[in-house]
Structure 1
Amino acid sequence: MGCTALIVIDMINTYEHEDADVLVDSVRASLPGVDAVLRRARADDSPVIYVNDNFGRWRSHRGEIVQAALAGRHSELVEPIAPDEDSLFVVKARHSAFFETPLAYLLGQLGAERVVLCGQVTEQCVLYSALDAYIRHLDVVVAADAVAHIDPDLAEAALRMMERNMGADIRLSHKISFDAPSTRRPGHARPGHAEPDRDAPAIPGDATPGPGP
């Protein structure tokens, strides 16, 4: 039985890009969820993999990326969820965590069959990473309260797409188990395979229960 890996997407951020001012409030709302899912993964000794943009600095490595974010204008959004010594780190250049990165190989080496996604941006990097995980026959879980968005309407639509089209399990961080087995048969989609988490807000910060993301 394969393990579950937590993938933290683009949370080590300098917030110097053009969408930063729109994004930061959603990131702030997502921090408790990110922290919770990190604690759960670490408590279960599950692999924690940070996959992060290199800010266009092609000679950057993990230490430089983390230090640049901690020295940035919103270090308070980085410090609480910064990688520890046991965390793995993959640098990406495009939206998907898998595109031209060693992530798929790393997951294979770890024996991971299921991934839990959190981070930013729901309607961009999280969505594309979920699709790339799905087409690689990985079970996908998205922590609904641990993802941050720029556009709330697109974020809600992205969560619904991940659930319906990729068979992703969308649920709150405190309801995610890292010892759950993988159940997808390779090559077979499972849209709507699990009972949706009806308590999960459609997007972080939306406290109104809805019909599920």
Structure 2
Amino acid sequence: MSDTVVLVIDMLNTYTHPDAEKLSPHVEEIIEPLSGLISKASSRDDVDLIYVNDNYGDFTAGFGDLVRSALNGDRPDLVEPIVPPEDCRKMTKVRHSAFYATPLAYLLTQLQPQRVILTGQVTEQCILYTALDAYVRHFPVVVPPDAVAHIDPELSDAALTMMESNMSADIVPAAECLL
């Protein structure tokens, strides 16, 4: 059982997609707080670190393939600081929610965390849908706004408001997540 689970969602990205130009400046803003949170999570026994990343339609890709592609993409500077530690759990996903067609729900049921911290990208898409799926499964959600990146600032603000209001998510800075 874990007190806390930190999910790192879709951060292994090549930044070669149509929204990359809009997304990457916002990813730049979260790299430092996110890498600090990952480092802190990795050093604690009461925290499980889980990376969940889109396979981008490549069903032959293993997790290591996703890491290599991201490191060889257009923005390795956004990937290098958050490369998954060897000893963390990793899984691929096929759609927006980290729960959709993955073993995440089963794993979290086994770990029985007191809270699930959602980090990564994109706030108004994958983070929002993952938060909803966590909420309907009765997992308490925490979202550090300085550790999630967005494409559209207005939609991001609306998504954070929805997570807080409709899903009882705690919205707290990354530095305060693992106090």
- TM range, smaller chain: over 0.9
1:2, CA displacement in angstroms? 5.0
Partner of 2:167: 166
Name 2:83's counterpart in structure 1. Answer: 82
Counterpart of 2:84 in 1: which secondary structure?
coil
Which residue does 1:136 correspond to in 2? Answer: 137
How far apart are the structure 2 equivalents of 1:113 and 1:172? 18
CA distance, structure 1, for counterparts of residue 111 and residue 167 of structure 2: 22
Residue 128 of structure 2 corresponds to residue 121 of structure 1? no
Give 1:56 shift. 1.3
Give the Cα–Cα distance (whole angstroms) in 1 for the partners of residues 38 and 44 of structure 2: 10
1:40-51 counterparts in 2 under 5 A?
A: 40-45=40-45, 46-51=47-52
In percent, how many aligned pairs have the same letter? 52
Instruction: After superposition, give the CA deviation of every residue in 1:61-112 in whole Å (9 maximum; x if it has no partner).
Output: 1111100111111111001100011111110000000011100111122232
* Distance in structure 1 (CA, Å) of the matches to 2:100 and 2:56: 16
Code of the aligned partner of 1:104: A
Counterpart contact for 2:2–2:48, Cα < 8 Å: no
Counterpart of 1:149? 150
Question: Per-residue deviation at 1:39?
Answer: 1.9
Q: What is the CA deviation profile of residues 157-197 of structure 1, one whole-angstrom value per residue up to 9, with x for unaligned ones?
A: 1000000000000010111126xxxxxxxxxxxxxxxxxxx
Alignment partner of 1:55: what SS? Answer: coil
Determine which structure has the larger helix proportion and give its number: 2
Tell whether 2:33 aligns with 1:33.
yes
TM-score by length of 2: 0.96
Query: What letter corresponds to residue 62 of structure 1 in structure 2?
Result: F
> Unaligned stretches of 5+ in structure 2?
none
Aligned counterpart, 2:104: 103
Paired residues of 2:121 and 2:149 also in contact (CA < 8 A): yes
Classify the secondary structure of the residue corresponding to 2:155.
helix
> What is the DSSP-based 3-state SS (H/G/I as helix, E as strand, rest coil) of the residue aligned with 1:137?
coil
Question: What's the secondary structure of 1:51's corresponding residue?
Answer: strand
Q: Residue 48 of structure 1 aligns to a residue in which SS?
A: strand
Total equivalences in the alignment: 178
SS of residue paired to 1:47: strand
* Residues 9-59 of structure 1, C-alpha deviations (whole Å, 9 max, x = no match): 000101111101110000000101111211221222211100000121111
The equivalent residue for 1:19 is: 19
Where does the alignment leave 5 or more consecutive residues of structure 1 unmatched?
179-213
Name the counterpart of 2:178: 177
Which of these two proteins has the greater Rg computed from alpha carbons?
1
TM-score (norm 1): 0.81
Q: Which amino acid aligns with 1:144?
A: P
* Aligned Cα root-mean-square deviation (Å): 1.2
Residues 1:58 and 2:59 are matched in the alignment: yes
- The runs of at least 4 aligned residues of structure 1 exceeding 4 Å deviation read none
Higher relative contact order (CA 8 A, sep 6+): 2
- Is the CA contact 1:33–1:143 (under 8 Å) kept in the aligned structure 2? no
